[in-house]
Amino acid sequence: MMLLYEGKAKRVYRTEAEDVYRIEYKDEVTAGNGEKHDFLTGKGRLNNLISSDIFQYMADHGVASHFIERISETEQLVRSVEIIPLEVVVRNYASGSIVKRLGLEPYQLMTPPLVEFYYKKDELNDPILTDAHVEMLGLATPDEIEALKSAALKINSVLSRMMEEMQLSLIDFKVEFGKDQAGNIVLADEISPDTCRIVDMETKENFDKDVYRNSTGSLLDTYSEFYNKMEALK
């Protein structure tokens, strides 16, 4: 089947059905816009298992996404959408880039949760955007901007609850949205430890890609432990 798009961690293929794509999760990990890059056998499997289960949990709690079903250890079927080139980040506690940019205390509480937009453009290093920039670039209308923010906050509530059930805290995460053939905005891409910060607040242990970014542990062991905690919820 025809390869439609290849990103840093996934490949997207057309299928015989016009409105269905197949996503294959790759055994690759990158950080710092590709500055750090490694091949890790088994990483694609873990991300696919985790992301599929999170999308299913979302669906069970009223958040629709492009996800249809997982069809193998490394592949899932999704509704075909056109990705809006925005990274929508929600922050419950300060970590990562915002700590550096605004000089905040790590893990400072954000109330209400902060929603930010970044322009998904590698060659510009994904710059942060105001609502006015999003509108000026033609990426979303004012109504769509509000819809994106409210969808991101709903996802935050559901995902935070899921992490609490695992005795973990959702620090922040990034989601992407797409437009389906009818023009509806739907949650797309993936939700996994690659795209979230998830911390045991007592021990401050990370269950996310920070272990790879900061070289503080084994990514495969960390993701595998996270997946086991998810499995224990079932």
Q: State the residues that interact with ligand C5P by CB under 6 A.
A: 87, 89, 95-97, 126, 172-174, 195-197, 209
Instruction: Please check whether residue 185 is in contact with residue 73, taking contact to mean a CB–CB distance below 8 angstroms.
Output: no
The CB-of-197 to ligand C5P minimum distance in angstroms stands at 4
Contact 209, 29 (CB under 8 A): yes
CB neighbours of residue 37 within 10 Å: 11
Q: What six digits make up the tokens of 101? A: 């940019």
Residue 50: closest CA among 215, 200, 173, 184: 173
Shortest Cβ 189–ligand C5P spacing (Å):
9
Q: Cβ closer to ligand C5P: 195 or 222? A: 195
Amino acid at 205: E
Q: Which is nearer to ligand C5P, 20 or 110 (CB)?
A: 110
- Least Å distance, CB 90 to ligand C5P, is 8
What are the residue ranges of helices labelled H in the chain?
A: 43-60, 97-102, 131-136, 142-165, 210-213, 219-233
Provide, rounded to whole angstroms, the least separation between the CB of residue 107 and ligand C5P.
13
Nearer of residues 110 and 186 to ligand C5P, judged by Cβ: 110
> In the complex, which residue's CB is closest to ligand C5P?
96
221, 213, 54, 12: CA torsion to nearest 10: -110
Contacting residues for 2 by C-beta, under 8 A, at least 6 apart = 13, 14
Nearest approach, Cβ of residue 31 and ligand C5P (Å) = 9
Q: How far is the CB of 78 from ligand C5P (least distance, A)?
A: 18
**Residue closer to ligand C5P, measured from CB, 42 or 96:** 96
Query: Which of 103/183 has CB closer to ligand C5P?
Result: 103
By C-beta, is 38 or 69 nearer to ligand C5P? 38
Q: Dmax of the chain from CA atoms? A: 51
